[in-house]
Amino acid sequence: MKPGQPFADLAALGSHLRQELENKKTILLYAYNGTGKTRLSMAFKDIGKQGEGEDEKRDTLYFNAFTEDLFHWDNDLEGDNDRRLTLNAASRFFAGLAELEMDNRIRPLLQRYADFDFRIDTQEWAVRFSRTVDGQVIDNIKVSRGEENIFVWCFFLAVVELAMDPEIEAYRWVKYLYIDDPISSLDEHNAIAVANHLAQLLKRPESKLKTVLSTHHTLFFNVLCNELKNAKRYFINKNSTGSSYVLREETGDTPFFHHVAALAELYQAAQEDRLFTHHFNMLRTILEKTASFHGHKNFSVCIKQQEDDPDGILHARLINILSHGNYSLYEPQQMLDENKAYFRKILHDFLNRYPFNPELFPQAVEATGTP
């Protein structure tokens, strides 16, 4: 990794990224949560704004935490029947909604990830969802938060496809794409699937758009690096005082192998106390690969049995937790405190048992509080 380049604020960093894109098509940014990734995306977008009101011109189509604010639920609290997701009609994000048949553009994208359907009412600026159960169509359902996020993401991808087409006037103003953490709380499989799909879209030769992608998700970043080999890759850090930023270029051929990237993601999740139930799936996958590499048939050999657990009661409990449940991306649930303690114990013992690069895991994952 090359020495870092300092920037006084996010506006200066955003200007630098625009300069980099004069000679590059894609930039990949990795940064931990709280570094300022979302605020950087807004600073980048604001640099391209000119004029005010009806005369305002922009050049950046962005996806970040604020994109979800363009969609708002009307739950029909009185009738409890006509549930719909309303759209912000004033946003240029929805330009040409009726004329461009967005339903037919979104649906093939959504079918990659979800089993529900939808219809867009261009008169009411609303989306209604449905799902087929046992051959019966159930209308006006309220999808889960995770499913809503998937729908918004696919809506954005459909808009990107339109922005790539120079014949589509509604999105001809788009020169840059800025995508910040497209989907949070991804499990290992879905992180790879979404990253691969996005990379294939951005590699279309007919596209002239310049793109910045930022994420805290190690595995997602790793897959993008492998798929977009010509992209510039950077790590963003705050300086010690937190008042300025450092941009470091990553020049290695491969930032991480997939299993190490997934392990680094779990390590970071444990450090930041943002552990979800599907992280058990990721950890079990890593243990299974490790056991297989060492010639064992079962991942249980990778879970340390403590000296104060001679009967193996705790050991059996830990294996049982990892052996049952296929936790879903679409229904992410925070772990119970008891299971957080179990998770940290397994991860702590695993990292101390096998000689991984200590630079990737600078602090030991504390296994305190184990029931």
148-160 residue pLDDT tens: 888 999 999 999 9
Q: Is pLDDT above 90 for 369?
A: no
Distances in Å between the Cα of 195 and the Cα atoms of 11, 222, 280, 306, 324 are: 27, 9, 21, 39, 27
Q: What is the mean pLDDT of residues 61-83?
A: 81
- Say if residues 224 and 213 touch (Cβ distance below 8 Å): yes
| pTM of the shown model | 0.71
d(CA 362, CA 218): 15
Coil, helix or strand for 20? helix
pLDDT: is 41 or 285 the higher one? 41
CA distances 199 to 59, 111, 169, 250, Å, are 21, 18, 25, 19
Q: What is the mean pLDDT of residues 246-273?
A: 75
Superfamily of domain 1-59+175-254: P-loop containing nucleotide triphosphate hydrolases (3.40.50.300)
Residue 319: half-sphere exposure toward Cβ, Cα within 13 Å: 14
Q: What is the pLDDT of residue 332?
A: 58
Each residue of 110-120: pLDDT tens digit? 998 888 999 99
CB 67 within 8 A of CB 152: yes
Q: Per-domain residue ranges for the chain?
A: 1-59+175-254, 66-151, 258-353
The answer, yes or no, to whether residue 252 has pLDDT greater than 70, is no
Under DSSP, the state recorded for 256 is -
pLDDT of residue 330: 46
What pLDDT is stored for residue 251 in this prediction?
A: 72
